[in-house]
Structure formats: C-alpha cells, structure tokens
Structure 1
Amino acid sequence: MEDYVVADFKQVGDNELGLFAIFDGHLSHDIPEYLRTHLFENILNEPDFWTEPEKAIRRAYRITDTYILEKAVNLGRGGSTAVTAILINCQKLVVANVGDSRAVICKNGVAKQLSVDHEPSMERKSIENRGGFVSNFPGDVPRVDGQLAVARAFGDKSLKEHLSSEPHVAVETIDDDTEFLILASDGLWKVKTNQEAADAIKNIKDAKAAAKHLADEALNRGSTDDISCVVVRF
C-alpha cells in the first residue's frame, strides 16, 4: 500500500469546507504523502478559489506537479494518482482527478461517476503525439511506454514528456436527493461497479463503517491492488 487518505473539515471565514482525497502512489511513498499535506493548501491559496474553483483547482494541480518534478531528487522517481473532493458549505461539491482513483455520488439510489478513469488506451493518441507509446501485451493492462497503467498522474519524471497531470474537474450540486459520496482507489473499482458499491452501503448509516465494508468486500472478491475508501454521507 502506497495510499494516503484525507477526510477533514476546515472552517475558512464564514465558510465550511469538507476536504476529501485519496492519493495512490506508485514507486513512491513520499509523493502521495506530499500531496496529502500540500495539495489542498495549494488549492485554497489560489486567489480565484471562491469565485472560480474549477480554474483554481486546475492551476493548483499544475503548480503542485511542477514542484514535485523539481524536487524529484528528494521526493523520488515515482508518482501518484489523485482524486480530490471539496465540499463547500454542504451545497456544492467540486471533484478533480488524475489517474484511476474514482469519485462516485449516489442520488436517489442511483450511482453517478464524477471522475474519469485516465486509462492509457483511452488517451493513446495524445500519448503518441507527445512521442510516447502505449503497450498492450497479452495478459497485461495497457501501459504508457510499457510502464505506467494510467495516462495521467503527479510526478513520474521519467515519463512526464508522455504523461499528463491535467485534472478532470466536475461540479455537483448537493440537494435533498444526495445520499453519499464514495472516493476509492482502483483496488475497489476493479472488482465492483459503481452501482454495486452504492448498493452495498445504502443501508449503512455510519460513514466509517460503510467505507470499511467496501474495503472488506473488495478483499473478499480477491482484489490485489491498493484499496482505500472514503465515504461521505449527507
């Protein structure tokens, strides 16, 4: 496991923010740990955050990735995927992601994916336009330059010419129909669909117990990848 998790609430002036994230590292503990400590700080320091949160998040992701690349000697040669969710006054949810950790919201019992799984096969053209390639060997998943199984990530200096860190950003309104949000690394999603995950916890009122239940079910289904999970109930 090279995952780091954030689940926190922060008061900023008259505003309450819920800060939730999962950072799934590869070949590195230091980069996901750095993200856990600094990414939200970088986002909230953006002057446009309160007026244009999507723009602020995109810029903070870029700035953070640039810093990680510049400090590769100290932070290591690996990288990390990320899925982040900022809940603003329990009214608006802003989700961003790079990689294959996923955000799923459930409204009226229906699961809706808010993030995008950045798979190399889906971004082959842009990877090749940058001079890279996508391998697809029998028995293996597609990989950027035969190495990385995601097309976007923080860090990964050796692959960065062919790898993007541009996040997908989505904004969701929280209303009376909103039941819960699931953030999880790919170890859950490899063995459960979005709807299966939502159905599995719909009657579990305690968010921590719900997250544990999803992780346990992923293990029971034979998942061998990193399994981290955050559940936010509304």
Structure 2
Amino acid sequence: MTTGREILHKMKVKAGFGSSAPDTAAKGKAKATKNHISHGSHLVKGKTNHPMEDYLVTDFKRVKDHELGLFAIFDGHLGHDVANFLQNNLFDNILKQADFWSETRKAIKRAYKKTDDEILDKVKQLGRGGSTAVTAILIDGHKLVVANVGDSRAVLCKNGVAEQLSVDHEPSKEKRDIESRGGFVSNLPGDVPRVDGQLAVARAFGDKSLKLHLSSEPDVEVKTVDESTEFMILASDGIWKVMTNKEAVESIRHIKDANVAAKRLIDEAVSRKSKDDISCIVVRFQ
C-alpha cells in the first residue's frame, strides 16, 4: 500500500528534487539546451545506530537565461542537521554570488565559506556536528563545475574511462596544514588518520570544536561536457571505501536508466560489506 510519505516523495521526484529518506530512489529527466540529461538517485541507511545522515539534491532550474542542473551529496556526521542545512542553503548561496557567471571558481569558494560561517553561527540549533559535500552544477548542458570538501566524490566517465573530478581530503595528505593551524593527525583511536584523533577528513562544513584545525575551502574543477562524456557519478564514501573509480564506472556503463544505475552501485557496495550510509546520484549525458 502506498503511504502518504511515498506519495509526497513521488511528487518531489517529479519536480526534480531528491530526498533524504532511507532506502529511497529518485528519478528525473530534464532538457538542457539541445541535450537530454537524465538523472537518478538512491539512498540506503547504513548498519549504524544513528538516523540516516546523508542528504542529496537533484534539481533543474532556469537562472538568467541559463539552464542549470544542480546535483549534490551531503554526508553528515555527529548528526544530520548540518547536512540538511546544506541541502536547503548551499546552492542558493552559490547562485547569489554576483560574480558566479564571470568568476565561477571564486564565487563557489566564497559561497562555501559563507555557508560554513552560517552553520557555525547556528551551532545552538544545528549542533556541533558537520558534513562533507560534493556539488556539481551543469550549465546549459555543456559546462560542468564540481566542488567538494571531504571524501564524497565525483567521477566522470568519458569514452569508458573514469576520471575523478573531486579531491579526497584525507588528514594524512593535509597533515602539514592541519599542524600549522595548531592541530594534529593521529591514527589513535581507530585505524585511520584523523584530525585531532577525531575526524577522518581534513575538510568539512561545521564541526565547531575542530574548526580551528579544519578547513572548509573546496577544490573546484571545471569540465566541458562533449560527445565523449557519458555519465557522472556523485556518491558518499560508503561506495568509495569498497569500490575504485574504474569499478564503479564499469559496473553501470551498460545501464541506460540512471535511476537503475544509482541503485546498482549502492547494491554492489552493500554486497561488498559497506556498512556506512550510502547516497548516490548518476547523471547521464547521452
């Protein structure tokens, strides 16, 4: 029997929005200039004691005579409020930057900083948790702008070859910067490097108690979508902990339905014993 919640979810999907409900799927199609872009998404709650902490965005809108595809994965930690805030506010902050169209990289970096400042100012409402983020903005079907903080990842498939567009911000790789801010990187407790022995990523939104030692500056990559560009994967680290970029691309390259492809990736990650919350978006350009 279809519940009221499921009906509401289907209405959101038709409008092009993803939801954060566990084990749900979203699918949509939109036209950007002369290209037909299809997208699908899927989320599954991990085998943890806390509520689902992943959120996503899949949306198309027209701004200043430009067709924009907006896609994002937000992987929260120590609570879901920061990721939920990002879902509702980050793209608005990006598009409000006056120089978004002329200085896109600078505008996105400034918007990430502004959003992080807002989160820190609202720590009493949002809590002291945080979130990673990977965002992708498709402009007029041919210009792709990807930004990220943390270890959620964007991977592009061009002519069957996987190309990572984001940067995994690992504490071991940014140890010098963390130490220059007065922090430290330690494998204890646990078995992976963590900022101040607590957080396994070197960059994130929020995390008030670690902010002096933690960056929220994104890496930004700009790519042209051409005839060789097949699809893009955005996913939280629940997939990338158990699959390489090449394995992820090859596992869904033959699947034309983006929604089915997103679910297939998550099913494969679960079969490989991934225990984390997992969220995934697939955008097909052909």
Decide: shared fold, TM above 0.5: yes
Q: What code does the residue aligned with 2:166 have?
A: S
Structure 1 segment 6-85 matched on structure 2, within 5 A: 6-85=57-136
Match of 1:92 among 143, 164, 171: 143
Please tell me the root mean square deviation across aligned C-alpha atoms, in Å: 0.9
Q: Normalized against structure 1, the TM-score is what?
A: 0.98
Whole-angstrom CA distance in 1 between matches of 2:190 and 2:63: 49
How many Å apart are 1:226 and its aligned residue? 1.9
Match of 1:167 among 196, 218, 243: 218
Match of 1:217 among 262, 268, 277: 268
Whole-angstrom CA distance in 2 between matches of 1:179 and 1:35: 28
How many Å apart are 1:139 and its aligned residue? 5.4
Aligned residues: 234
2:187 aligned partner? 136
**Residues 1:185 and 2:236 aligned together:** yes
Whole-angstrom CA distance in 1 between matches of 2:95 and 2:182: 35
Whole-angstrom CA distance in 1 between matches of 2:196 and 2:259: 38
How many Å apart are 1:24 and its aligned residue? 0.2
Match of 1:2 among 53, 59, 76: 53
Cα pair 2:60 2:69 within 8 Å, conserved: yes
Whole-angstrom CA distance in 2 between matches of 1:58 and 1:130: 20
2:259 aligned partner? 208
Structure 2 runs not aligned, ≥5 long: 1-51
Cα pair 2:189 2:197 within 8 Å, conserved: no
DSSP 3-state at the match of 1:122: coil
Mean alpha-carbon deviation: is it higher for 48-57 or for 180-189? 48-57
Q: What code does the residue aligned with 1:18 have?
A: G
Mean alpha-carbon deviation: is it higher for 159-168 or for 129-138? 129-138
How many Å apart are 1:137 and its aligned residue? 3.3
Whole-angstrom CA distance in 2 between matches of 1:6 and 1:221: 26
Q: Normalized against structure 2, the TM-score is what?
A: 0.81
Give CA-to-partner distance per residue, 1:92-139, whole Å, 9 cap, x none. 000000000000000000000000000000000110111101011385
Match of 1:146 among 193, 197, 213: 197
How many Å apart are 1:2 and its aligned residue? 0.3
